[in-house]
Amino acid sequence: MRFGHRMRMACGTMLMVLGLVLLLRQGLLSQGTAGSPGRAGERFDNQVRDDFFSGMAGDQEAFDRAMKLCEERLRQDPKNAEALVWHGAGLHALSGQAFREGDTAKGTELRRRGQQEMDQAVALDHSIVTLIPRGSVLLQASRNIPSPERAQAALKQGLADYEEALRLDDHFAQRPVHARGELLAGLADGWYRARDQAKADTYLKRIVAEVQPSPYAERAKFILANHPPADQLHLTCLGCHYQKK
């Protein structure tokens, strides 16, 4: 089976990285932090995000190139938080692929290593540049973890990361619509899945008040009025494949 097909089959992992890359592209992480310098002072996320994006879409060479860059940077500096969090996200993507192929032992080990690296990255640099990647990974991974207890733990940690990132972001009101919409939508969706309707509604109302006119606001109004099942929210990734209902 080709790499691209295997990666596309791991749709939850693909969406997790897609959401992460879209947030980075729209500038959620681009203000208020210089990031780790690389080529001629270029931020590290700028060096790897396109390759990770292409890798999740099926380009093995691009994915391998991004992982290799992370590994090279970590050999130079084992405490490079951005390289750690991106590499950990990559390992999580590979764990999803292994689980889909039926290799539970490999998937479990890759997931453990990915989680460990992301946790270490947040411990080294408790900031938006590490919290958003880890939160994105865990929120999407929580949809596919068979164990209810582990899925709930991943969901709660992902929500905590997003809420902390929101608290730390002094420039949130100035972010592009897509960045604001994706972060608030991720929180609304997560709390909805956690069955905390009050918290979910809080973020849905913020979307209506703060992210309009936009597909996010339109969709949030529909959800507030109709409260569809959690698996029918269709609230995130609206910039690329929005459906009204």
In a domain, 207, yes or no: no
**34 part of a folded domain:** yes
pLDDT for 32 beyond 60: no
CA distances from 204 to 105, 174, 185 (A): 39, 19, 7
Domain presence at residue 106? yes
Q: Look at residue 45 and tell me if it is in a domain.
A: yes
- Mean pLDDT in residue range 93-114: 92
Query: What is the span of the domain harbouring residue 17?
Result: 3-130
Q: What is the pLDDT of residue 36?
A: 47
pLDDT value, residue 239: 54
Does residue 227 lie in a domain region? no
Number of domains in the chain: 1
Q: What is the pTM of this model?
A: 0.83
pLDDT in tens, 145-199: 888 999 999 999 999 999 999 999 888 898 888 889 989 999 999 999 999 999 9
pLDDT band at 10 (very low <50, low <70, confident <90, very high): very low
17-42 in b/e form (b: 16+ CB < 10 A) is bbbbbbbbbbebbbeebebbebeeee
Give 56 or 223, the one with higher predicted confidence. 223
Is residue 176, in this structure, part of any structural domain at all? no
- The answer to whether the Cα torsion of 224, 226, 227, 230 is positive or negative is negative
